[in-house]
Amino acid sequence: MEHIAALLFVVGCSSTMTDCRELQVPVSVFETERACTAERPFALGDLQGQAPHIVGKCLAVDPALEDDYDRIAWNVRPDGTLVASLEVSGMLVASNSVRPEKDYLKQQ
């Protein structure tokens, strides 16, 4: 079984950045964070037209916990910055920000 090292998480937002939703990408898991980062611009380009603003982040995945993640907590700030983190049963395990303004919880 191959281990997952990164997850590509993409969100589409309204023009005012107040109404956002998760967007599905054809490939969302990667063996390396570098592969995820390389694919991100292409994935975002493929989603153009699905929302006025599209943002995405590669989230590092701990291979020891890859089957245990059950939530992605995320927020898009008014400036268009996506803050997202992976959680295991409510416990924060990986984040690209220490203190998000507020989180919207989505089931994975």
| Residue 83 included in any domain | yes
| Residue 1 included in any domain | no
Residue-level pLDDT at 100: 42
| Residue 43 included in any domain | yes
Sequential DSSP letters for 35-62: HHHHHHHHHHHHTTTSSSEEEEEEEE--
| Residue 16 included in any domain | yes
- Torsion angle defined by CA atoms of residues 31, 46, 70 and 91, in that order, rounded to the nearest 10 degrees: 80
Q: How many domains does one find in the chain?
A: 1
Which range of residues forms the domain containing residue 59? 6-107
Whole-prediction pTM: 0.76
Residue-level pLDDT at 11: 97
Q: What is the pLDDT of residues 18-43, one digit of tens each?
A: 899 999 999 999 999 999 999 999 99
Residue-level pLDDT at 107: 39
